[in-house]
Amino acid sequence: MSEARPPVAAAKVQLPHAPLPAYYADEAEHGRYLRRIFDDTAPDYDRIERVLALGSGAWYRRAALRRAGLGAGAHVVDVGIGTGLVAREALALVGPRGRLVGVDPSPGMLREVALPRADLLAGRAEALPLPDGSSDFLSMGYALRHIADVSAAFAEFFRVLRPGGRLLVLEISKPEGRVGTAVLKGYMRTVVPVIARLVARRRATPELWRFYWDTIEACIPPATVIEALRAAGFERVERHVELGVFSEYTATRPG
């Protein structure tokens, strides 16, 4: 008997945000831009993150994984593993009996992953190179804004999780109020690029952090993310928010 599948809907690409012509002209160029900017800046990524997070990033990521239900012995897939910041905390929680597979389209990012216990695969969220029902837990940290099709990615997450498996999508969301948005925008568009220029070793790194804010500002709202998760077949879909900007989307594959 084949496993249950999510409801079949008409094929329609769901972009995570409107096109950003300051960086790319169309979706084909979008993919090339992402590959270039992440490959070029990968050696700087962890250094900048440590400065910006004031050392709290690892603590927060581990707490979010715990809140989402990750425990010892789980088989985890980390989509958009980047340099391994979320994966590092996941491995600490699953322990020696657990397993983690990291997937990312950027060879430059994958080269920066220094996690001997992680199995690394080149791949995209919309076409994961993994078998059906092969993971207990799937995470994606701050990569939703960079995928090409939200609906296709969520359908893949549903496919790869076993029945009863848990999903965690971490993302930065634009604050609801105008004042909060203005403060975060000012920080991301002025302070962060200055810090990046001072700390970075790669010329493209300040551009990456400007691009980050522009994708945050243009990203689909949380209600749309929740609706897309439910449309993919997930249940118990919830959003937890920290400091008004750090969104944790959690969901369960029924079964």
Task: Give residue 83's pLDDT band: very low, low, confident or very high (50, 70, 90).
Answer: very high
Output the CA–CA distances (angstroms, integers) from residue 108 to 14, 67, 206, 216, 249, in the order listed.
Answer: 27, 30, 17, 23, 27
pLDDT reported for residue 200:
83
Asked if pLDDT for residue 85 goes beyond 80, the answer is: yes
pLDDT reported for residue 8:
43
22 CB burial (10 A radius; 0-12, 13-18, 19+): exposed
pLDDT reported for residue 27:
87
Let me know: does 141 contact 82? Beta carbons within 8 Å: yes
Asked if pLDDT for residue 86 goes beyond 60, the answer is: yes
Task: Give residue 3's pLDDT band: very low, low, confident or very high (50, 70, 90).
Answer: very low
Token pair belonging to 152 = 């296709």
The pTM assigned to this predicted structure is 0.92
Asked if pLDDT for residue 5 goes beyond 80, the answer is: no
Taking the C-alpha atoms of residue 88 and residue 70, their distance in angstroms, rounded to an integer, is: 13
Asked if pLDDT for residue 201 goes beyond 70, the answer is: yes
How confident is the model over 21-39, as a mean pLDDT?
94
54 CB burial (10 A radius; 0-12, 13-18, 19+): exposed
How confident is the model over 76-100, as a mean pLDDT?
97
Token pair belonging to 7 = 């409801």
pLDDT reported for residue 184:
86
For 158-197, give one letter per residue: b (16+ CB within 10 A) or e: bbbbbeebbbbbbbbbbbeeeeeeeebbeebeeebbebbe
Query: What phi, psi does 54 have (nearest 5°)?
Result: 55, 35
Identify the top-confidence range among 44-53, 60-69, 186-195, 200-209. 60-69
Let me know: does 33 contact 23? Beta carbons within 8 Å: yes
**Of the candidates 196, 192, 183, the residue with the CA atom closest to the CA atom of residue 245:** 183
Task: Give residue 197's pLDDT band: very low, low, confident or very high (50, 70, 90).
Answer: confident
Side chain identity, residue 144: L
Element containing residue 218 per DSSP (H, E): helix 205-218
Let me know: does 76 contact 103? Beta carbons within 8 Å: no
Q: pLDDT by residue (tens digit) across 159-181?
A: 999 999 999 999 999 888 889 89
Asked if pLDDT for residue 10 goes beyond 80, the answer is: no
pLDDT reported for residue 11:
60
Taking the C-alpha atoms of residue 155 and residue 234, their distance in angstroms, rounded to an integer, is: 9
